[in-house]
Structure 1
């Protein structure tokens, strides 16, 4: 399939373009929902174009099709609580209100880059909600749950394209009204 100037192919047919955790999560999910996972596509990109603005320009992709995934953490009674907030690239996650309230913490902040990379097992610029550790909540803005969504693959050298409805139906995903501002 062609979208923008990229050729997209079934993700599980190209395991070399997926981070290990992403590949394992997709293979596991495929056992329960093969039709859904069959709609998850991957395309190789220049790692220097992994950031959303560069990618959309380099590959003639609509910015509104991209979704960004950020890892956010907070503490409550000595317990760290982590969530992935997934919002369209044309918006930003409401970390200070919505995410903070959902995590039930006093202060929520973005995980530092080195910590996000280490915890996720993914490369910075490729972090995706697919394949995150089980204790990470996955919060998805409803706008990401409709239409095509371009997300990370866990690697900087590729991106995943899937219907937002498939992403919203992924195990563990919580669709949260008002997540994006």
Structure 2
């Protein structure tokens, strides 16, 4: 890690990718295997963003959440994901709708989202999503040195540079905050 290594890094129970590959959803594993991504274990009582931040001393502004959306564009229902910092409120019906060029945007139902992603609720990550989904990344995510985000399962988290998100298919950066 570089001189900008987060202070909380020594507190994270890091694991080798090979040691957790059986736990990760296959598409997630395939998506991160060649990236500079660190994986760490999270106890069940610390898997939610706020609890994870408190347990490991991770500032909330380093926590990034992936949210699955459904949207209507050109009379077709489609899917997308947004990646935003945990301490921010996203403008879904304004900025996100405009970025997608959508007529209507809504949060995907929990069961549908987990089935389509092949990931656990509360652990959804941008890594391993269907390749045709747009992934909108809020500009504030890109301003962080490192981010912590879900790994597709609630028992693991990912630590990475935000620029790694730009390697994902259909990933783009937008100002998505509520003003």
Structure 2-normalised TM-score? Answer: 0.86
Return the offset for 1:99.
1.4
Other-structure match for 1:138? 135
Q: Is the 8 A contact 2:95 2:176 kept in 1?
A: yes
Give the alignment of 1:57-136 within 5 angstroms: 57-136=54-133
Q: Which residue of 2 aligns with 1:151?
A: 149
Aligned mates of 1:112, 1:141 — CA distance in 2 = 22
The count of corresponding residues between Structure 1 and Structure 2 is 171
Give unpaired runs (5+ residues) of structure 2: 2-7
Cα RMSD of the aligned pairs, angstroms, is 1.9
In structure 1, C-alpha distance between the alignment counterparts of 2:57 and 2:108, rounded to whole Å:
30
CA distance in 1, matches of 2:17, 2:147: 14
Moved over 6 A (4+): none
Q: Give a deviation string over 1:124-144, Cα, whole Å, max 9, x none.
A: 010000000012111111221
The answer as to 2:17 corresponding to 1:19 is no
Q: Distance in 1 between matches of 2:72 and 2:119?
A: 23
CA distance in 2, matches of 1:111, 1:48: 25
Matched, 1:3 2:9: yes
TM-score by length of 1: 0.85
Deviations 1:67-112 (A, max 9, x none): 0110111123441121111011110222111111222222211001
- Closer, same or farther in 2 for the Cα pair 1:99/1:19, shift >3 Å? same
5+ residue gaps, structure 1, are 31-36
